[in-house]
Structure 1
């Protein structure tokens, strides 16, 4: 694959990262240039509110933005890019998060900028510094290429002062954008600028008078009723959210930022404000939000979501990326039940990748995921796994809630060469996840039923066929034997589906299951015959 062929294919690809990257290509048809006319990187940004720890929403936004970044690089033949992970750590703390150590400490500092509140964990300079460190550790864990930028650093150092001057100079125009969007009561107290009280250190939501944009001087009424005149520079004020977002776009020169559907109005108003400041609204994607298994919006307060730690307990990192890649403009359910399918679909798509023509590769989610955190990464190493995740789940389900990794690998020895986690690291991750899923979700629900007389007769025939096949039978031969028994009209199955359903319910205790030939080869012919004997014993007449 040549660079030219990749660029040509990328320009007509319907994959959403390329469609998003096309927006940037239209924005900069000749590449982005600086004041001197030289090339400068296109700037991608993601935002993070450090009032809590990073979560799956943080991951998906950085991942999806990275996918667009890599697509743009492929589309342009390697044009320079940057990704900034921005922390809004000048925000005033509005609520004490749940499950935080020393909540009294946070309660005593409500309203203050997050970067000026002591760390309740006692490890960092402030609460924001703690959460920012967690963010960087979180992003580093997944190998993201990014630059960390702190709002507090930019406000305190004066880096945002020129942009703040612009806000004060265009104060009336910004008020003209915002006031029509507010309720009458809110209009009376609204101000784009939030001064920090010199007496309490709290971020104030009070009206201000702009005295001098050049020096940043404003006048306001402090919490104690006194009139205060102070500069907005040097971290003595911050901006309201929508104005702050626009100012950041302007000050940093952001070209692309995506956000959730709940921020649609913010995108509109911030887009107008950045134009007032003399800048340009970034390109971006508004993605749909996550739903729980009942189709309800996920809420932190309800606790009805799925954490990234939970996903990585019951699935794999690749499966998470795969699930998040698919159609970001459609709402996605986020619960443990969707993980097994995502694991298997990832490996299905990865296994198909190498043999696909280029245009199909560019539409394959795995093509994008392999390049997310390593430009030029491609097919190589573990491009397939010898056992599906669903088959592993059936195996551990039969082994019971106390199944161990050692047991699973011993059965895998029936199916693959050199059955060790060191030799098959990706399969090892799947084994770990399968054991956790079985322990917490599958084993408590499995219940094998007794076969009907007709099913019992068919099981006896299957037992005889397995005895004849012997230990060394292939999965394909075993599948054919199962298939032929199900087709035999003597057993009375209306369809093969009824036969397989009977096998799943009587042998595995589940209404659905794997390709039986593969399962028998994995579990072992003698062990499967024991399952049949146990099933037949369930409807044996009592003595």
Structure 2
């Protein structure tokens, strides 16, 4: 299992006792499910997440599984694990391919497959998987497995063709008029003329057809329609994989057939949730509980899309940061729109370790409000991290070191005896910091020459640091920096620190400067000041 194993651990009795008063959002959501089971008297609970494999799985897909798992854990705590629970990760791989994602190969070949179920679209990636959907499904499952999620994978194509949905499809045929009455008022005139909740699979082309029905026979479970190209009358059953449902009806069919009790969805699907819930009721079922989370945005503030590939992929995040930081990003403020770009990574990394450290000595009540508990479904492991990720990034920058062994030379002076073997978590962060700096910090660094008063202050700082050669006392060094800044007429002391970052590090923000000096070294910092004063750092390179 990966570092975030979700194998339904035994519940801590203290956490169970504290759960009724917990206010973290997973508990607020879980209380909806508790009220549901108390009302219905059911004996088990089904959580579900959905995925459309018409594009590569992205972080939003992972986030839905992550967040639902957090709600599932909270439900188990609130009910003292009295109800068996399951989490279904459902892939709608029978959906027809409507457009070719721009971020995949074989564009022309895939364009010829428009209209085919995604599970029958050729695989453009050269892997051993039989179809585009099979490749994407495998990637999603690999990510979920690496994170150790406890889930059951389900494929739309498998469920339709195996007969798993047959009873629900026959019920959909029975309430066909009710479904039409729900959906038709939401459609434009042209779409109303062709709408049916059933999408036949054309026996001639294999494509998913959007055609009106001309006949229905509830007793036999058969429907008839006209081939849109030949005009031929085609008759088929709604069972056995011969049709799939339009997606709002399909969502409702899934909830009804699988008895789904909880599923969250993006804010852009609020109206769809309402319509699918009405269809479930028409079928005779009970819509699931859930909430609508806000969407992730790219660096330009646009919604991320799996077809455009304009967000961060799961692999990309894990190239530059630990998986726990990604989980923290998913936990925080799910109802607020958040930019999902590379610049959010350092903050998420350091915040995770801060929460993990706080969790070590919290009582159960406080622990249940700590994001680290929800990330791990328990108290997280303790880490020995004497240096923050942000500080490591600045060390890489100042030392111009893209070799881990060079960085460890600085680290060992700051933390005597520290090695990759004694501090494995720090070693992991060193690797992340080197990669992140090379790809995102180094290309954007812009040094400037100091203004006259800033230059005087830098000379004063150099002089004040001179007697402290070899010091690693971050607090004492921070005091020196602070006192030097106060002795000059900066409008705001923040302007002094901003000048330090811009002149010496080539960026607008930076670490606590005393901590940076302690790690980088007093003598090295003085040499850096000399370069900044001479203009060498700001000179064209």
> Partner of 2:379: helix, strand, or coil?
coil
Q: What is the rounded CA distance, in whole Å, between the counterparts of 1:445 and 1:132 in structure 2?
A: 36
Residue 98 of structure 1 and its aligned partner are, at CA, apart by 2.4
Q: What is the rounded CA distance, in whole Å, between the counterparts of 2:153 and 2:370 in structure 1?
A: 30
Map 1:129-144 → 2, pairs under 5 A: 129-144=134-149
Q: What is the rounded CA distance, in whole Å, between the counterparts of 1:129 and 1:295 in structure 2?
A: 31
Q: What is the rounded CA distance, in whole Å, between the counterparts of 1:241 and 1:307 in structure 2?
A: 25
- Identify if the C-alpha distance between structure 1 residues 368 and 27 changes in structure 2 by more than 3 Å, giving closer, same or farther: same
Residue 474 of structure 1 and its aligned partner are, at CA, apart by 1.9
Between stretches 342-351 and 191-200, larger displacement belongs to 342-351
- Identify if the C-alpha distance between structure 1 residues 240 and 125 changes in structure 2 by more than 3 Å, giving closer, same or farther: same
State the match for 2:75 in structure 1: 72
State the match for 1:36 in structure 2: none
- The C-alpha deviation readout for 1:166-189, integer Å capped at 9, x for no partner, is 011111111111111111221111
Q: Say whether residues 1:59 and 2:62 are aligned partners.
A: yes
> Partner of 2:113: helix, strand, or coil?
coil
- Identify if the C-alpha distance between structure 1 residues 356 and 536 changes in structure 2 by more than 3 Å, giving closer, same or farther: same
Q: Say whether residues 1:504 and 2:501 are aligned partners.
A: yes
State the match for 2:361 in structure 1: 355
Between stretches 438-447 and 282-291, larger displacement belongs to 438-447
Counterpart selection for 2:115 from 97, 102, 111:
111
Q: Say whether residues 1:172 and 2:181 are aligned partners.
A: no
Q: What is the rounded CA distance, in whole Å, between the counterparts of 2:535 and 2:116 in structure 1?
A: 67
State the match for 2:162 in structure 1: 157
Asked whether the equivalents of residues 501 and 509 of structure 2 are also in contact (C-alpha less than 8 Å), the reply is: yes
Counterpart selection for 2:529 from 526, 529, 532:
532
> Partner of 1:84: helix, strand, or coil?
strand
State the match for 1:378 in structure 2: 379
Asked whether the equivalents of residues 32 and 42 of structure 1 are also in contact (C-alpha less than 8 Å), the reply is: no
Between stretches 410-419 and 331-340, larger displacement belongs to 410-419
- The C-alpha deviation readout for 1:75-131, integer Å capped at 9, x for no partner, is 111232100011111111122222434344433332122223333335223322222
Q: Say whether residues 1:437 and 2:440 are aligned partners.
A: no
Q: What is the rounded CA distance, in whole Å, between the counterparts of 1:2 and 1:173 in structure 2?
A: 45
- The C-alpha deviation readout for 1:311-349, integer Å capped at 9, x for no partner, is 223333221111111121111111122222222222222
TM-score, normalised to structure 1, is 0.90
- Identify if the C-alpha distance between structure 1 residues 486 and 211 changes in structure 2 by more than 3 Å, giving closer, same or farther: closer
Q: What is the rounded CA distance, in whole Å, between the counterparts of 1:32 and 1:511 in structure 2?
A: 58
> Partner of 1:29: helix, strand, or coil?
helix
Residue 305 of structure 1 and its aligned partner are, at CA, apart by 2.6
- Identify if the C-alpha distance between structure 1 residues 176 and 494 changes in structure 2 by more than 3 Å, giving closer, same or farther: closer
Q: What is the rounded CA distance, in whole Å, between the counterparts of 1:144 and 1:116 in structure 2?
A: 28
Residue 501 of structure 1 and its aligned partner are, at CA, apart by 3.0
Between stretches 444-453 and 256-265, larger displacement belongs to 444-453
- Identify if the C-alpha distance between structure 1 residues 127 and 511 changes in structure 2 by more than 3 Å, giving closer, same or farther: closer
- Identify if the C-alpha distance between structure 1 residues 83 and 301 changes in structure 2 by more than 3 Å, giving closer, same or farther: closer
Q: Say whether residues 1:395 and 2:395 are aligned partners.
A: yes
Asked whether the equivalents of residues 85 and 148 of structure 1 are also in contact (C-alpha less than 8 Å), the reply is: yes
- Identify if the C-alpha distance between structure 1 residues 476 and 140 changes in structure 2 by more than 3 Å, giving closer, same or farther: same
Map 1:468-479 → 2, pairs under 5 A: 468-479=467-478
Residue 492 of structure 1 and its aligned partner are, at CA, apart by 4.0
- The C-alpha deviation readout for 1:475-503, integer Å capped at 9, x for no partner, is 2222233333333x3x4445543433333
Between stretches 322-331 and 432-441, larger displacement belongs to 432-441
Q: What is the rounded CA distance, in whole Å, between the counterparts of 1:440 and 1:499 in structure 2?
A: 28
Asked whether the equivalents of residues 220 and 227 of structure 1 are also in contact (C-alpha less than 8 Å), the reply is: yes
Structure 2: segments with no counterpart, 5+ residues: 1-9, 537-541
What do you get for the CA RMSD once the two structures are aligned? Answer: 2.4
Q: What is the rounded CA distance, in whole Å, between the counterparts of 1:198 and 1:473 in structure 2?
A: 75
State the match for 1:516 in structure 2: 513
Asked whether the equivalents of residues 90 and 114 of structure 1 are also in contact (C-alpha less than 8 Å), the reply is: yes
> Partner of 1:163: helix, strand, or coil?
helix
- Identify if the C-alpha distance between structure 1 residues 122 and 534 changes in structure 2 by more than 3 Å, giving closer, same or farther: closer
Asked whether the equivalents of residues 55 and 307 of structure 2 are also in contact (C-alpha less than 8 Å), the reply is: no
Counterpart selection for 2:106 from 97, 102, 106:
102
Asked whether the equivalents of residues 168 and 210 of structure 1 are also in contact (C-alpha less than 8 Å), the reply is: no
Asked whether the equivalents of residues 55 and 306 of structure 2 are also in contact (C-alpha less than 8 Å), the reply is: no
Q: Say whether residues 1:423 and 2:422 are aligned partners.
A: yes
Q: What is the rounded CA distance, in whole Å, between the counterparts of 1:74 and 1:7 in structure 2?
A: 5
Q: What is the rounded CA distance, in whole Å, between the counterparts of 1:417 and 1:353 in structure 2?
A: 27
Q: What is the rounded CA distance, in whole Å, between the counterparts of 1:206 and 1:167 in structure 2?
A: 17
State the match for 2:481 in structure 1: 482
Counterpart selection for 1:318 from 287, 304, 324:
324
TM-score, normalised to structure 2, is 0.91
Q: What is the rounded CA distance, in whole Å, between the counterparts of 1:157 and 1:338 in structure 2?
A: 44
Structure 1: segments with no counterpart, 5+ residues: 34-38, 372-376
Asked whether the equivalents of residues 54 and 307 of structure 2 are also in contact (C-alpha less than 8 Å), the reply is: no
